Structure 1
């Protein structure tokens, strides 16, 4: 029977191996449970069918056995009555039923064997479903913890990258400072040396310029006074006329 082969394959599968191969155990464990429950429903239906077949075979065998026993009884009665021909008829019919009895016994034996296999599969599937159901919450909790730890690890990697970038920024800043210091140093070296005597002369040149400016201001002031006197004298003469 193909159903027996199918569920034999299911039973030989290792649930832990399935979990190890899946990418997301939290989702896969739910899918496995759904599959197992579907299979369990099919196993129950098939087991019930095989058990019913076994019951029918046993009932047919019982009826055949009763009929054989009855024919044998009638054959005995016919012999007792001195009717051998009737006894032969009863025994002939009994022989036919005996062949049928052998076939029915094989049928019952096969049905009983199939029923035993299906019940074993049914019980194993029930056990697997119950076990996986009990482990599901634990598996999901472990997956959630693992995912959280992975996010923390990724955050740590990001922080390490940030520290590396900050370190690179600091190195570039230090390099820029060195470049500026070197440029200033070269500028100082390229500058024309100052003559101390010339600097000293500039000091006094500044004072001389100041004296000249003072003298010029004084002259401007005297000139203004002379012009004012002349203007006043001219106004006096004009009034006398």
Structure 2
């Protein structure tokens, strides 16, 4: 059958080797997948037809076996009636049917071998397609990475990116200038000088002493009143 040769050619093809030699691996792989899918469809259609034919032959064999038993019964009946010529004719018909059954069984065996082969080819072809689809996904991933890298490279080389980076540098310098001014102010702030801190400490001590004296006076007054 031509389908067997077609499927076998597809299965025997070395995908990796063909892609390595191709100028456009992605395009070649798409064509190969299309060819594989067509071959797989033919394979399945042929398998379905063969299975249908197998059922027909099995039914024919069953019918022949029923006919064989009928001629056997007729031959026995003729012998019982003493009609040997009629019994002989029945046995001849039985022999003819028996030979037909043998031919049908031989035909069935050949058909079943073809069915087994085409089923195996369908499975191998399906595995081949799975491998090809995996390779296709890898190629698509590599293609997307290349596009992304090219896009990033283009963006990095554009005037807009350079302008944005320049603006960022200006803002950063401005922030650093403001921070420096704040630090300088804090260093020169009178509230932060050593003398100012000592003066504030002395004032606090005087207030604490006055507060303690006031509390003592109030306690004394309370006792005298009591």
Does TM-score exceed 0.5, indicating one fold?
yes
With over 3 angstroms needed to count, the CA separation of the structure-2 counterparts of 1:43 and 1:109, relative to structure 1, is same
Choose 1 or 2 for highest CA Rg. Answer: 1
**Contact 2:7–2:125 (CA under 8 A) maintained in structure 1:** no
- Corresponding residue of 2:183: none
With over 3 angstroms needed to count, the CA separation of the structure-2 counterparts of 1:82 and 1:117, relative to structure 1, is same
- Corresponding residue of 1:60: 60
- Corresponding residue of 1:26: 26
Q: State how many pairs are aligned.
A: 152
Offset of 1:43 from its aligned partner?
Answer: 0.9
Secondary structure class of the residue paired with 2:23: coil
Farther-moved stretch of structure 1 (28-37 vs 72-81): 72-81
1:99 pairs with 2:68: no
Unaligned runs of 5+ in 2: 151-226
Secondary structure class of the residue paired with 1:67: helix
Offset of 1:78 from its aligned partner?
Answer: 2.1
- Corresponding residue of 1:9: 9
Superposed CA RMSD: 2.5
> What per-residue deviation string (whole Å, max 9, x for no partner) do you get for residues 141-173 of structure 1?
235556888x8xxxxxxxxxxxxxxxxxxxxxx
- Corresponding residue of 1:132: 132
TM-score under structure 2 normalisation? Answer: 0.59
TM-score under structure 1 normalisation? Answer: 0.56
1:69-218 mapped onto 2 (5 Å cutoff): 69-145=69-145
CA–CA separation in structure 1 for the residues paired with 2:15 and 2:96: 52
CA–CA separation in structure 1 for the residues paired with 2:126 and 2:115: 16
**Contact 2:71–2:90 (CA under 8 A) maintained in structure 1:** yes
With over 3 angstroms needed to count, the CA separation of the structure-2 counterparts of 1:94 and 1:133, relative to structure 1, is same
CA–CA separation in structure 2 for the residues paired with 1:21 and 1:87: 76
Offset of 1:108 from its aligned partner?
Answer: 0.4
> What per-residue deviation string (whole Å, max 9, x for no partner) do you get for residues 111-156 of structure 1?
101111111111222222233223321122235556888x8xxxxx
> What per-residue deviation string (whole Å, max 9, x for no partner) do you get for residues 70-124 of structure 1?
2112212222332222211111111111221121111101110111111111122
1:200-239 mapped onto 2 (5 Å cutoff): none
CA–CA separation in structure 2 for the residues paired with 1:61 and 1:18: 49
**Contact 2:68–2:97 (CA under 8 A) maintained in structure 1:** yes
**Contact 2:54–2:112 (CA under 8 A) maintained in structure 1:** yes
Unaligned runs of 5+ in 1: 152-241
